[in-house]
Amino acid sequence: MPVDLLPFGRTAGLYFLTAIAELLGCYLPLLWLTGKGSPWLLLPAALSLVVFVYLLTLHPAASGRVYAAYGAVYIATALGWLYVVDGVKPVWSDYLGVALALAGAASIALGQRQA
């Protein structure tokens, strides 16, 4: 029986949005703390973390399995953030780490499905 990947795609998209909200909520205070931004950055940072927490409530189930799979998507998103926002080009070991994390997440997410 083929696996229905549409719900997995929706979940992965939700994981990605959750990761962006989490990264933004942590990055903006870092800018302020390092003197690269105004204290006003704390307001959108707080809003971003509120969005992050809200998005966590939309995940299919609050369980270790869900958060383990989210962690892999967070790792991949953080690596993309490193390149796009920080301007640091990932190296081969970064890509390997992301591939291993995503393979583990896929194993966790798809392994729980009943045949």
pLDDT digits (tens, 9 = 90+) for 86-101: 999 999 999 999 999 9
Mean pLDDT over each residue of the chain, to the nearest integer: 86
Predicted confidence at residue 110, as pLDDT, reads: 74
Helix, strand and coil content of the chain, in percent to the nearest 5, comes to: 75, 0, 25
Q: Rounded to whole angstroms, what are the CA distances from 33 to 61, 90, 103?
A: 35, 25, 35
pLDDT band at 2 (very low <50, low <70, confident <90, very high): very low
Domains of the chain by residue range: 6-111
pLDDT digits (tens, 9 = 90+) for 5-57: 446 677 778 889 999 999 999 999 999 999 999 999 999 999 999 999 999 88
